[in-house]
């Protein structure tokens, strides 16, 4: 449990962090809350030569509203997301999801940006990020670009971020209270075997699913099947499509078949809960 | 002075806890010695392989690396890891401290690097090159028994380590001939990882001038280590001091002599410098003993009226690649309580121990008894179900009556005392049984999967009579009334979280009539607690406590002689009560301990031939084991969609004889049930078909957490044990033993409406969901 040797640098601005990333290239890793990187380093699965700690860049930690959107800084912790009055009132799905992440210590240190960039296929945030159609800002040597949530998750542990970029901000829309996140936990790790986030509005629903496939996905077949119907029967029929078109993961914790089943069950439950709110 | 209420029987908070809760405990890894070196161990990534070559030069070249050793460097000078179990015709491989020319399981120690700091030692490990030639691995014990199976140890020629057969009671063949029906069942005990929160840790320091070796190690058994390590190290036990500092969880996993303990001692002697090794979590999962892993085929001979005539058990125990201290003894222990609480006149028990390319199994909380209890309690439900008899009636029908004790079983042991009807009645009352049955009916009518499970268990504690124990089963204790009238108690049982610093002080304070604050209990250092057989098998209070009682009584007897001298009378006229010596009718004078102790040590005015001091020590040899028992009732609701189990009610009524401290009893039962919840519902150690360990860390091995623990309703009855003066039995493992079958029976009861009659452990959501799928479809 002793990591290999590394250098540690602590930039005070995003520009400085990007410059450091450019300088060190593949030898460097960005550290925020450290809850994915440090365990990997302790097992020596990750052996970066340089660790760039962006955790002290004050301008990266905030939750604020501007023009119908709520902007969340990359190093905002899960517990800040969980307890934010603004989010609880105007985008409660994100707070509800954050409350399911790990335990209190994890939520006190882990950050939304770190979690998204790590893109663990069983982490919680991708489900609401997809269902909310969030936008993600990435800053690199070529400046800032904005990526839509459905373009962000590329594959297992892979996102649209480039090696010399830093995720700086996540933006989610203000929603009605008709949202829900339902998760079945992997018993040992607490990660999602199937986590389903639903955002409902009179015109339709959006469903994000995490834990089931190599990357989180929008359950578009569910969304299309339910349309603007709201009956229990319609929910049941729609939820049956929760794992359509994906190849579910299978491991010692749940077979592919069971994960797909949990996706359907949790989709039904999340739809029921969201539509009852 | 002690108040009117004696300390014994009081629910007192543990004196150990303030230091532990505040982070003030000293664990092995907290030790800092001048010039301390750090060891890191390179372990096999293969379940079975030949080692062609090991190249250590790059590792040795790293600045700060002091030494790098392989098996070739140490196995000739450091002896083999011992197994203490005496099983006839046991075939055992030589268990060297580092691998020789082969590795036999993932995690097998191959080389060790010693450096000036632990980071460098780990860097060195990364630089060792090992050229492996992978060989077929034996992973499944049942497959290992088939002819043509690959061999765990090819040089041994077979995978079977031993076959142990017990025929007990009346004629088993006649029992099966006379049966109306023979009910057969296969039961599997999954492999479990004990996962103490503190992994193993060792610091070894050799004093070249004195020729003495001190070994601090996170162990349950410093005294057994002192007995067994001299053979490995070539150092006499008089030059060996073993210290068990605070131990952050053992559960049987630290009831062992480990290669790393001998290796660190060897390194400290060889390098003339203190050496520390602290296990990582991954090493703990791969290279510290595992528990259970038995598969058994059971046959019950029954009459149609429910009478059980006989029980046959054929069990296969997966031992792993090597024998640790008690590896082969654990499955044989199952045979001692095979019949549980029941009068079953004839038994046949056969267990085959099998080598596989996995970590060794050994004692894990309950060790052998959970296996026996799970199988008999599942079988009672299976029999009741098949014969359409009420499961409680079936149990009651086979209980010995309270007047039948001591009760000799067909397994060859004699249960000391019991009232099984009593715990069952009390548990039913606490569970509000009739209401619970009504709840079940209503829940089922509403389409819910609601089940109630019962287990009535008996187990073996207070290990044990020396004739039945590999290394002696007695215990040693010492009590010293100091010159200051404070009391030092020294125990050989090495409590490590069980709370005897508190309960032993209660016993001694009561008997001496002193405030409990004046009593200090010392343990865990062989230079302080000179002799002992340590903690396992719920023996601490029943065996160790008795040695303390014997010693304190000797001190009082001696003190009376001194008091009589001071009163100028005879011993017989001296009365000792409430901490004071008196001679009613002779003198109004009272002598308190403070005065008497000063006299005893200042020694100006002693009776002729009276030795100064007030100290006594004792060895207690138990005449029998004790047999605690109880009834656990569990109610569960199973989620029809996800297969998740929610425990909605948990009632445990345990009888551990007299209770010194009911709060400690409750704590032990609570923790024990938590372990059982893990085994029943989710814990399992998994190796893949190549022998790769898939549950090597907390991300993949689920242990119970606070949120998994239901509200418990705990009760007890008190049936004192006649085999020790305290009348205590032991309670360290009862919860684990009693609860697993209660939970399992509850889940199966919940699924009964779907036609499910059995599920294997652990009853994970997916396993339950699959059972529901097939059954629902089948019954539609």
Distance from CA of B114 to the nearest CA of A (A): 14
- Residue of A42, A187, A250 best to disrupt the B interface, most CBs of B under 10 A: A187
If you measure CA to CA, which chain B residue comes closest to A45?
B126
pLDDT of residue B4: 53
Residues of A in contact with B123 (CB under 8 A): 4-5
- Residue B74, CA atoms < 13 Å, CB-side half-sphere: 33
Do A114 and A206 reside in the same domain of the chain? no
Do A84 and A67 reside in the same domain of the chain? yes
Do A165 and A194 reside in the same domain of the chain? no
Distances (CA, A) of B711 to A120, B16, B67, B649: 34, 25, 53, 7
DSSP symbols for B682-707: I----B-TTS-BS--STTTS----GG
Angle at CA of residue A86, ends A83 and A90, nearest 5°: 115
pLDDT of residue B779: 39
The answer to whether the CB atoms of A5 and B123 lie below 8 A apart is: yes
Return the percentage of chain B with pLDDT > 90, whole number: 97
Of B122, B282, B769, the CB nearest to A261: B769
Identify whether A241 is part of a domain: yes
Instruction: Examine the pLDDT at B776 and tell me if it is beyond 70.
Output: no
Other C-beta atoms closer than 10 Å to the C-beta of B133 total 11
Do A23 and A88 reside in the same domain of the chain? no
Bridge partner list, B637: B450, B646
Instruction: Examine the pLDDT at B549 and tell me if it is beyond 70.
Output: yes
Identify whether A11 is part of a domain: yes
- Residue B762, CA atoms < 13 Å, CB-side half-sphere: 27
The answer to whether the CB atoms of A254 and B766 lie below 8 A apart is: yes
Distance from CA of A261 to the nearest CA of B (A): 8
* Closest-CA residue to B557 (of B516, B511, B625, B492): B511
Do A27 and A63 reside in the same domain of the chain? no
If you measure CA to CA, which chain A residue comes closest to B699?
A189
Do A204 and A257 reside in the same domain of the chain? yes
DSSP symbols for B4-64: SS-STT-----TTHHHHHTT---BGGG---TT-EEEEEEE-SSSSEEEEEEE-HHHHTSTT
Of B642, B695, B764, the CB nearest to A265: B642
Residue B72 phi, psi dihedral angles, 5° rounding: -60, -25
Number of domains in chain A: 3
Higher pLDDT, B3 or B215: B215
Do A203 and A163 reside in the same domain of the chain? no
Residue A65's CATH number? 3.30.465.10
Q: What is the mean pLDDT of residues B191-212?
A: 97
Domain termination site, one of A156, A173, A190: A173
pLDDT of residue B108: 98
Other C-beta atoms closer than 10 Å to the C-beta of B483 total 15
At B315 the three-state DSSP class reads strand
pLDDT in tens, B252-277: 999 999 999 999 999 999 999 999 99
Structure tokens at A21: 């990333």
Identify whether A142 is part of a domain: yes
Listed in order, strand segments (DSSP E) in A32-89 are: 50-53, 63-66, 69-73
Put simply, whether A47 touches B (Cβ < 8 Å) is: no
Task: Find the domain containing A191 and state its range.
Answer: 179-276
Distance from CA of A137 to the nearest CA of B (A): 31
Position B778 confidence tier, pLDDT thresholds 50, 70, 90: very low
Q: What is the mean pLDDT of residues B135-155?
A: 97
Identify whether A2 is part of a domain: no
User: Rounded to whole angstroms, how far apart are CA atoms A245 and A251?
Assistant: 19
pLDDT in tens, A86-128: 999 999 999 999 999 999 999 999 999 999 999 999 999 999 9
User: What Rg value do the Cα atoms of chain A yield, rounded?
Assistant: 18
Instruction: Examine the pLDDT at B323 and tell me if it is beyond 90.
Output: yes
User: Rounded to whole angstroms, how far apart are CA atoms B384 and B87?
Assistant: 36
Do A203 and A138 reside in the same domain of the chain? no
Of B699, B700, B766, the CB nearest to A258: B766
Q: For residues B573-585, b (16+ Cβ closer than 10 Å) or e, as one string?
A: bbebeebbbbbee
- B711 class by beta-carbon count within 10 Å (0-12 exposed, 13-18 middle, 19+ buried): exposed
Identify whether A1 is part of a domain: no
Q: What is the pLDDT along chain A (277 residues), one digit of tens a residue?
A: 799 999 999 999 999 999 999 999 999 999 999 999 999 999 999 999 999 999 999 999 999 999 899 999 999 999 999 999 999 999 999 999 999 999 999 999 999 999 999 999 999 999 999 999 999 999 999 999 999 999 999 999 999 999 999 999 999 999 999 999 999 999 999 999 999 999 999 989 999 999 999 999 999 999 999 999 999 999 999 999 999 999 999 999 999 999 999 999 999 999 999 999 9
Do A88 and A70 reside in the same domain of the chain? yes
Distances (CA, A) of A81 to A64, A71, A85, A197: 11, 11, 9, 16
Tell me the pLDDT of chain B averaged across its residues: 96
The answer to whether the CB atoms of B700 and A189 lie below 8 A apart is: yes
pLDDT of residue B86: 86
CB B454 within 8 A of CB B742: yes
Identify whether A268 is part of a domain: yes
If you measure CA to CA, which chain B residue comes closest to A188?
B702
- How many Å separate Cα A102 from the centre of its chain? 13
Bridge partner list, B755: none
* Closest-CA residue to A274 (of A225, A224, A237, A239): A239
pLDDT in tens, B49-58: 999 999 999 9
Q: What is the mean pLDDT of residues B33-50?
A: 98
pLDDT in tens, B55-78: 999 999 999 999 999 999 999 999
Do A32 and A110 reside in the same domain of the chain? no
Count helices and strands in chain A by DSSP H and E runs: 12, 14
Q: What is the mean pLDDT of residues B378-395?
A: 97
Distance from CA of B495 to the nearest CA of A (A): 29
User: Rounded to whole angstroms, how far apart are CA atoms B776 and B780?
Assistant: 6
Do A201 and A269 reside in the same domain of the chain? yes
Name the residue with tokens 């020590």: B617
pLDDT of residue A203: 86
CB B460 within 8 A of CB B413: yes
Q: Which domains does chain B have, with CATH numbers?
A: 17-23+474-620 (3.30.365.10), 31-135+198-248+254-287 (3.90.1170.50), 366-460+626-779 (3.30.365.10)
Mapped to the 3 state alphabet, what secondary structure does A99-158 carry?
CCCCCHHHHHHCEHHHHHHHCCCCCCCHHHHHHCCCEEEEEECCEEEEEEHHHHEEECCE
Instruction: Examine the pLDDT at B2 and tell me if it is beyond 50.
Output: no
């Amino acid at each position: 449990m002793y990591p290999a040797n590394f250098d540690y640098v602590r930039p005070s601005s995003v520009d400085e962090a990007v410059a450091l990333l450019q300088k060190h290239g593949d030898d460097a890793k960005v550290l925020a809350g450290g809850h994915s990187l440090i365990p990997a380093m302790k097992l020596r699965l990750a052996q970066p030569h340089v660790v760039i700690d962006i955790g002290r860049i004050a301008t990266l930690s905030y939750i604020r509203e501007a023009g119908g959107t709520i902007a969340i800084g990359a190093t905002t912790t899960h517990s800040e997301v969980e307890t934010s009055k603004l989010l609880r009132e105007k985008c409660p799905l994100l707070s509800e999801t954050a409350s399911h992440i790990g335990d209190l210590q994890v939520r006190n240190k882990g950050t939304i940006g770190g979690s998204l960039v790590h893109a663990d296929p069983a982490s919680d945030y991708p489900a609401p990020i997809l269902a909310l159609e969030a936008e993600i800002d990435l800053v690199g040597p070529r400046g800032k670009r904005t990526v839509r949530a459905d373009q962000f998750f590329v594959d297992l542990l892979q996102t649209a971020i480039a090696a010399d970029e830093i995720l700086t901000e996540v933006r989610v829309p203000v929603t009605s209270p008709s949202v829900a996140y339902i998760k079945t936990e992997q018993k040992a790790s607490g990660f999602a075997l199937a986590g389903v986030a639903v955002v409902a509005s009179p015109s339709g629903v959006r469903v994000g699913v995490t834990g089931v496939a190599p990357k989180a996905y929008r359950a578009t077949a569910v969304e299309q099947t339910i349309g603007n119907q709201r009956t229990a029967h319609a929910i049941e029929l729609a939820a049956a499509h929760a794992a359509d078109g994906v190849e579910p993961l299978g491991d010692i914790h749940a077979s592919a078949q069971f994960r797909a089943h949990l996706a359907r069950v949790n989709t039904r439950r999340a739809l029921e809960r969201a539509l009852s709110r | 002075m002690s108040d009117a209420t004696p300390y014994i029987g009081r629910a007192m908070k543990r004196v150990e806890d303030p230091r532990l809760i505040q982070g003030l405990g000293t664990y092995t890894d907290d030790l800092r010695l001048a010039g301390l070196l750090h060891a890191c161990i390179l372990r096999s990534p293969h379940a079975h392989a030949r080692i062609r070559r090991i190249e250590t030069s790059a590792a040795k070249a790293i600045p700060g690396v002091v030494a790098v050793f392989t098996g070739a460097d140490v196995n000739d000078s450091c002896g083999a890891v011992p197994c203490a179990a005496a099983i006839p015709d046991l075939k055992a491989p030589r268990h060297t401290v580092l691998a020789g020319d082969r590795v036999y399981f993932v995690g097998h120690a191959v080389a060790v690097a010693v450096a000036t700091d632990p980071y460098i030692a780990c860097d060195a490990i990364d630089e060792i090159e090992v050229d492996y030639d992978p060989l077929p691995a034996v992973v499944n014990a049942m497959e290992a028994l088939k002819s043509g199976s690959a061999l765990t140890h090819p040089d041994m020629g077979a995978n079977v380590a031993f076959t142990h057969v017990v025929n007990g009671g009346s004629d088993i063949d006649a029992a099966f001939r006379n049966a109306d029906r023979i009910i057969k069942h296969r039961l599997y005990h999954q492999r479990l990882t004990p996962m103490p929160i503190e992994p193993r840790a060792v610091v070894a320091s050799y004093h070249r001038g004195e020729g003495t070796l001190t070994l601090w190690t996170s162990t349950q058994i410093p005294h057994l280590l002192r007995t067994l390590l001299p053979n490995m190290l070539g150092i006499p036990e008089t030059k060996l001091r073993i210290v068990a500092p605070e131990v952050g969880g053992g559960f049987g996993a630290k009831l062992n002599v480990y290669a790393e303990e001998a290796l660190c001692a060897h390194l400290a002697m060889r390098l003339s410098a203190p050496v520390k090794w602290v296990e990582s979590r991954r090493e703990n999962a791969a290279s510290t003993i595992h528990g259970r892993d038995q598969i058994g085929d059971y046959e019950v001979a029954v009459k149609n009226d429910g009478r059980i005539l006989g029980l046959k058990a054929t069990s296969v125990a997966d031992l792993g690649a090597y024998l640790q201290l008690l590896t082969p003894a654990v499955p044989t222990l199952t045979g001692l309580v095979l019949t549980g609480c029941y009068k079953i006149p004839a038994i046949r028990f056969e267990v085959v121990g099998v080598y596989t390319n996995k970590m060794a199994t050994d004692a894990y909380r309950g060790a052998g008894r959970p296996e026996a209890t799970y199988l008999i309690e599942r079988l009672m439900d299976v029999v009741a179900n098949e014969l359409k008899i009420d499961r409680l009636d079936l149990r009651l029908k086979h209980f010995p009556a309270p007047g039948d004790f001591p009760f000799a079983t067909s397994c060859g042991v004699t249960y000391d005392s019991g009232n099984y009807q009593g715990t069952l009645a009390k548990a039913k009352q606490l569970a509000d049984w009739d209401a619970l049955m009504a709840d079940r009916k209503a829940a089922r009518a509403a389409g819910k999967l609601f089940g109630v499970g019962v287990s009535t268990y008996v187990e073996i504690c207070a290990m044990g009579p020396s004739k039945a124990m590999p290394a002696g089963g007695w215990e040693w204790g010492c009590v010293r009334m100091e010159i200051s009238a404070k009391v030092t108690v020294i125990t050989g049982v090495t409590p490590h979280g069980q709370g005897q610093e508190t309960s032993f002080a209660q016993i001694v304070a009561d008997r001496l009539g002193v405030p409990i604050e004046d009593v200090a209990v010392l343990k865990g250092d062989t230079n302080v607690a000179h002799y002992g057989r340590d903690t396992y098998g719920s023996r601490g209070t029943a065996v160790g406590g008795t040695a303390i009682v014997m010693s304190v009584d000797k001190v009082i007897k001696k003190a009376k002689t001194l008091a009589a001298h001071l009163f100028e009378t005879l011993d017989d006229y001296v009365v000792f009560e409430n901490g004071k010596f008196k001679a009613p009718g002779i003198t109004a004078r009272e002598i308190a301990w403070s005065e008497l102790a000063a006299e005893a040590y200042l020694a100006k005015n002693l009776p002729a031939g009276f030795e100064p001091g007030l100290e006594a020590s004792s060895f207690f040899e138990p005449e029998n084991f004790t047999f605690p028992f109880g009834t656990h009732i569990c109610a569960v609701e199973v989620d029809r969609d996800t297969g998740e189990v929610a425990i909605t009610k948990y009632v445990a009524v345990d009888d551990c004889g007299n209770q010194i401290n009911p709060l400690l009893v409750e704590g032990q039962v609570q923790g024990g049930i938590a372990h059982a919840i893990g085994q029943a519902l989710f814990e399992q150690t998994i190796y893949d078909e190549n022998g790769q360990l898939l549950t090597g860390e907390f991300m993949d091995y689920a242990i119970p957490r606070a949120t998994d623990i239901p509200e418990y309703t705990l009760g007890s009855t008190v049936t004192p044990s006649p085999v020790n003066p305290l009348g205590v039995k032991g309670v360290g493992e009862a919860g684990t033993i009693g609860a697993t079958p209660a939970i399992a029976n509850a889940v199966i009861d919940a699924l009964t409406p779907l036609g499910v009659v059995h599920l294997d452990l652990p009853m994970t959501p997916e396993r339950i969901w699959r059972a529901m799928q097939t059954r629902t479809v089948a019954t539609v």
